[in-house]
Chains A and B, each alone.
Chain A
Amino acid sequence: MADRVPSVSPTMAGGPLDVVVRPRAERSRPNLVTLLARFCRKKPLGAAGGVLMLIMTLTAVFADVLQTHDPIATDAAQTLAPPSHDHWLGSDHLGRDIYSRIVHGARVSLIVGIASTLLGSVLGGIFGLLSGYVGGTTDLIVQRVLDILQGLPLLVLALVMTASLGPSIPNVILAISIPIIPRASRVIRASVLSIREMQYVEAARALGLRHARIAFRHVLPNTIGPFIVLTTAQLGSAILVEAALSFLGLGVPEPYPSWGRMLSVSAAEYAQKAPWLVLFPGIAISLAVFGSNLLGDALRDTLDPRLRGA
């Protein structure tokens, strides 16, 4: 992709231009370990959240190694067994091992959570970039349409979406990502609006760069801070919505072990006889969301002080 550069200064074409526009790239950066150590010292709660998320990720990746039983194998002799040496967290009404199901549930929750958050944030980010950079009527129309989507509670919209798409993992991901779009677009648009007025963007425009190049190469990379903050914050609510949908029987279908679904099957009937059916999956959901909330808060304070307290 060749840039249109004024013929008066042929030496500025290509490489040097990017250096002028992004002087930060020239500076030497502190290495990752130093940055991490500083983050842990300044934000101990955030670091704790990071550790929780790391544990969850490792659990999801190594679920097959960590399991003690087949998560979907039923065992008629072991129905509603209390926590014991064999079944660490007890077993459910079909004799399935709760611990193994929770370990595998981490996989489903994490995949659905991350995929829907990323999909929603990327789509929302594109709308936000377009809306903020182009401005004018485009901005007005995009924002009004997104207002409509935002007017409905996240869960209600996701509910109607999954109901009409049918329960399957890709559909659940899609249903949760749609309500995230307007939220993501708001955040990215706001930061694009301020970046658009910066001098280096003006300089790029004066040099005759095409709008698409300015928007994607020079404006977009600078929204990465708010973007990271946004995705960490949304991850928690995406996991919660997945749990609620699965609880209602409209989310992740059988036989996948999902934390929300584990609560729905056991909930009313067996809770009194076997409280471990209710306690452990709920604790797993809460810890996962707690971790992403802690991390999200700390990242927000570190990366984007303007959003503090929002």
Chain B
Amino acid sequence: MKTYIAQRLAIAILTLLGMSMVIFALLRLAPGDIVDILFSAAGYVNPSEKQAILKELGMDRPYWVQYLEWLKQIVTGDLGKSYRYDLPAWQIIRPLIPVTLELAMLSILVAVVLGVPTGVISAVKQDSMLDYMLRVFSLAGLSMPSFWLGMVIILAMVSWLGWIPSLTYVKPTENFPVHAVQFALPALAVGYRSSALIMRITRSSLLEVLREDYIRTAWAKGQAGRIVIWRHALKNAILPVVTVIGIEFAFLIGGLVVTETVFNLPGVARFLVQAILWRDYPVVQNLVMFIAIIVILSNLFVDMLYGWLDPRVRYG
């Protein structure tokens, strides 16, 4: 177990190192930098002035020096300074993290609550009308852009209820009901989409398990249907579902980029878009790195969960 965790951690760190190189390189492909953007508004750029600013921001040094510097900062927990706001990057990012994490957690909750039961029903009633309807319902979720769904939800609330949730962020301590609604709507829009994948994998995994001998035995000895399905079958069918939930949690963050923009929530994802537009390298680098770390940690967590859910899995 210990060697397994050590091994996985080593791989995770190597992957993150590779990712940091990719992110760093991608951002340097960009035509134009912060100085060009700052000056494009002014119209005229004095070359010597530009040079002075580049030097002040540390951007006149060779790329490899800048890269190593960044790595050193990550390791020491100092995330550098935002070019645009003239503030330490960490100070900008920190208040955004809880917003995104809360939204991601809520979305995955919606996805599981919606996806697992529909998947079970669909599998038990295989090829019935209900099964077809549930499958079309989930495929529809997979097909609608979650940001559009969010817009439609807002629109529907306005025209049917004549009421619109506040589009400026309210802290949970300020006004909890408003805060709850504010997060419930985007979580619903994003969660519906993720529930589709969870539903499909629950269905196919359960169908497979339901054909096994021990399930036939359970039926034969007269066990109640409810118990056969929820206790005997689902327990063994849940493993692939957990994998998908883990993967989805990581990939949810991609969907949040647009959803946070639609619902005007001050999260990591929305801020990423703004930082990209400003070519604020330290902020973009660190935000993308932060997302990468979440993805890798959630993968690691899912692997650990396996052993707990399925004692047959041995860490080798």
Contact = CB atoms under 8 A, between A and B. Distances in A.
A244 B132 CA distance: 29
B26 A282 contact: no
A73 interface: no
Contact of A159 (B158, B257, B296): B257
Interface in B8-34: 14-15, 18-19, 22-23, 26-31
B124 to A, nearest CB: 15
Contact of B145 (A151, A285, A293, A310): A285
Given A144-B18, A155-B254, A159-B276, A309 B205 contact: yes
B152 A160 contact: no
A45 interface: yes
Contact of A278 (B151, B207, B255, B295): B151
Given A160-B27, A160-B288, A166-B31, A154 B148 contact: no
Interface stretch (A16-24, A114-122, A267-275): A267-275
A45 B136 contact: yes
A154 B208 CA distance: 30
A263 B288 contact: no
Contacts of B255: 153, 155
B276 A160 contact: yes
B175 interface: no
Contact of B139 (A165, A271, A287, A290): A290
A42 interface: no
Given A151-B295, A152-B292, A263-B151, A272 B29 contact: no
Secondary structure class of chain A's binding surface, majority of residues: helix
Contacts, number: 141
Interface in B85-123: none
Given A45-B136, A159-B273, A309-B203, A282 B145 contact: yes
A149 interface: yes
A65 interface: no
Interface string B63-82: 00000000000000000000
A293 B197 CA distance: 12
B183 interface: no
Contact of A289 (B15, B132, B143, B295): B143
Contacts of A163: 30, 276-277, 279, 284
A151 B15 contact: yes
**Residue among B139, B148, B288 with the highest chain A CB neighbour number at 10 A:** B148
29 contacts: A148-B19, A152-B19, A153-B251, A153-B253, A153-B254, A153-B255, A154-B254, A156-B257, A156-B272, A156-B288, A156-B291, A160-B23, A160-B284, A161-B26, A163-B279, A163-B284, A164-B26, A165-B30, A247-B147, A247-B258, A248-B257, A250-B277, A278-B148, A282-B144, A285-B144, A289-B143, A290-B139, A290-B140, A310-B201
